[in-house]
Amino acid sequence: REDRGRSPQRDFHILFVPRRSLLCEQWLKEQGVLGSFIHREQYSLDLIPFDGDLLSMESESAFKECYLESDQTSLYHAAKGLMTLQALYGTIPQIFGKGDCARHVANMMIRMKREFPGSQNSIFPVFDTLLLLDRNVDLLTPLATQLTYEGLIDEIYGIQNTYVKLPPEKFAPKKQGEGGKDLPTEPKKLQLNSAEELYAEIRDKNFNAVGSVLSKKAKIISAAFEERHHAKTVGEIKQFVSQLPHMQAARSSLANHTSIAELIKDITTSEDFFDNLTVEQEFMSGIDTDKVNNYIEDCIAQKHPLIKILRLVCLQSVCNSGLKQKVLDHYKREILQTYGYEHILTLNNLEKAGLLKPQTSGRNNYPTIRKTLRLWMDDVNEQNPNDISYVYSGYAPLSVRLAQLLARPGWRSIEEVLKMLPGPHFEERQQLPTGLQKKRQHGENRVTLVFFLGGVTYAEIAALRFLSQMEDGGTEYVIATTKLINGTTWIKSLMEKLEPTPF
């Protein structure tokens, strides 16, 4: 309004991305400025490609809305996104799913298809299967600390839309003979995606395997630069010069990632990181999940960040199918006394979402699930992994295991365990016009689109990529989700906002 007074010549427009919301317009109207906008429109962005095999809706509130508020609007948009995807890449003949939201999305897809028969297209289907998974089928995975290179970058520094901001000290350009130059104060911003060769190579590796790749690369690049001494003829020199930009890019890429790896290593070698990881792994392997944990108590006593505490207690709760009432009350009391009583509201949300709740049935299903699906693998090989459990150095993400078993040998083999996980599981088939039904050639991989409803972590993405490149895996995966998350951002989205709203 003030703006308008200042410059009456200016036209104001508002573009809602990804979609206009009635609430927003309501509020604008109440403020009396709705009419000041010449034009209101929405620029629909449903699924945004983040990389060659990754799509995200970047809907932060999707999990909270679906599981806390029973508002399934974001699922509607997921379904619409999938319809658009099918319009571009062909109808997906098989749909599998697990969870209430998955069921809902599938129903909407089928219905949307029915209502627009004209959208039947003649595109050869790119995807053979769609797997819809509710986040709440696997509440455990996002809570654990990711141990892949990309996962750790996200856990520690937070990757926003493929960009990360890093402390600048290690990235100051080193000039010969100039010591003590002014260090840059602006955080260093880097873009991270598979277009960068080195990054594509190391992003999905367990962090402990990254060092050797970097040092090998360093040798190769040094050797390449040394070539200039061997270039004698003009032709050779010319060839060397033509490759120079590529080599320089590779060198700068190596320098960046070496710095990042150093930053991460400082954290992963710290006592606190080690203690935290130890407790996480104890819980995930089923040790002492039914008692109050000393480390957690110590952390509360030392007033570590609340989100760290919440991740740990929720992890314990999930690995125990809910905590004994006494243990839960004890944790709650300590948290409220240390961080403030107003956090009752957040604790309530976590209970509603199933993350931190009392054990209702008196029995703990987690050990059965863990054993049947082989979620904890003692003999994990971080350098040359043979199983997806390398992404958490021992724990195989439940969600990815489900995808893995679906492809081979199929979910019928784990019926009992599936029943222990929330929500229905189902299979749907969509008719393809004759002639488009594809017969896969021998040796050709199936393509499965895995859609995580409620969020997905980089570690899970790494695990799926691992499956894709397995020699006789048989399936390649493309990943879609409502949001890229890590444990911290995920819990944060469930926390009650404690500052009074500005409105």
Coil, helix or strand at residue 376? strand
Applying CB under 8 A, which part among 138-146, 206-214, 327-335, 396-404 lies near another protein?
327-335
Does position 499 bind another protein by CB under 8 A?
yes
Does position 498 bind another protein by CB under 8 A?
yes
Applying CB under 8 A, which part among 13-21, 272-280, 405-413, 430-438 lies near another protein?
13-21
How far apart CA 460 and CA 480 sit, in angstroms, is: 12
Distance linking the first and last C-alpha atoms of the chain: 15
Rank residues 73 and 359 by Cβ distance to another protein and give the closer one.
73
Among 18, 40, 94, 126, binds another protein (CB under 8 A): 40
Does position 339 bind another protein by CB under 8 A?
yes
Q: Which residue type is seen at 454?
A: G
List the interface residues with another protein, window 120-179 (CB under 8 A): none
Applying CB under 8 A, which part among 202-210, 235-243, 293-301, 476-484 lies near another protein?
293-301
Among 345, 374, 410, 427, binds another protein (CB under 8 A): 345
How far apart CA 309 and CA 335 sit, in angstroms, is: 8
**Residue 208: exposure state from Cβ atoms within 10 A (0-12, 13-18, ≥19):** middle
Applying CB under 8 A, which part among 95-103, 333-341, 387-395, 426-434 lies near another protein?
333-341
Does position 273 bind another protein by CB under 8 A?
no
Cα dihedral 187, 188, 191, 197 in deg (nearest 10): -150
User: What's the 3-state SS for 400-421?
Assistant: HHHHHHHHCCCHHHHHHHHHHC
Rank residues 225 and 339 by Cβ distance to another protein and give the closer one.
339
List the interface residues with another protein, window 68-107 (CB under 8 A): 69-76, 79, 84, 87-88
Among 2, 7, 23, 229, binds another protein (CB under 8 A): 23
CB of 51 to another protein, least distance (A): 21
Does position 22 bind another protein by CB under 8 A?
yes
Q: Are strands 54-56 and 188-191 parallel, antiparallel or unpaired?
A: unpaired
Q: Which residue type is seen at 467?
A: L
How far apart CA 275 and CA 326 sit, in angstroms, is: 25
Dihedral class, residue 388 (left if φ above 0, else alpha if ψ from -120 to 50, else beta):
alpha
CB of 235 to another protein, least distance (A): 46
Size of the residue set binding another protein (CB under 8 A): 60
Cβ-contact 428, 95 below 8 angstroms? yes
Does position 21 bind another protein by CB under 8 A?
yes
How far apart CA 19 and CA 358 sit, in angstroms, is: 38
Could you check whether the bond before residue 409 is cis, i.e. omega within 30 degrees of 0?
yes
Applying CB under 8 A, which part among 162-170, 220-228, 232-240, 294-302 lies near another protein?
294-302
Does position 446 bind another protein by CB under 8 A?
no
Burial 295-323 (b: 16+ CB within 10 A, else e): ebeebbeeebebbbbbbbbbbbbbbbbbb
State the binding string over 41-70 for another protein (x if CB under 8 A, else -).
xxxx--------------------x---xx
Applying CB under 8 A, which part among 34-42, 193-201, 433-441, 442-450 lies near another protein?
34-42
State the binding string over 299-318 for another protein (x if CB under 8 A, else -).
--x-x---------------
CB of 114 to another protein, least distance (A): 13
Rank residues 177 and 502 by Cβ distance to another protein and give the closer one.
502
Rank residues 390 and 451 by Cβ distance to another protein and give the closer one.
451
Does position 3 bind another protein by CB under 8 A?
no
Q: According to DSSP H, which parts of 183-305 are helical? A: 197-202, 210-230, 234-268, 271-284, 294-301
Q: What is the CA radius of gyration of the chain?
A: 25
Among 3, 227, 342, 427, binds another protein (CB under 8 A): 342
Which of 246-255's residues contact partners 24+ apart within 8 Å by CB, and which partners?
A: 247/221, 250/197, 250/198, 250/217, 250/221, 251/221, 251/225, 253/196, 253/197, 253/198, 253/199, 254/198, 254/214, 254/217, 254/218, 254/221
Sign of CA dihedral 406, 412, 417, 418: positive
CB of 301 to another protein, least distance (A): 5
Does position 226 bind another protein by CB under 8 A?
no
Applying CB under 8 A, which part among 16-24, 146-154, 220-228, 403-411 lies near another protein?
16-24
Sign of CA dihedral 260, 264, 269, 271: positive
User: What does the binding site for another protein look like in residue numbers (CB under 8 A)?
Assistant: 11, 13, 19-23, 25-27, 29, 34-44, 65, 69-76, 79, 84, 87-88, 108, 297-298, 301, 303, 329, 332-334, 336-342, 344-345, 348, 496, 498-501, 503
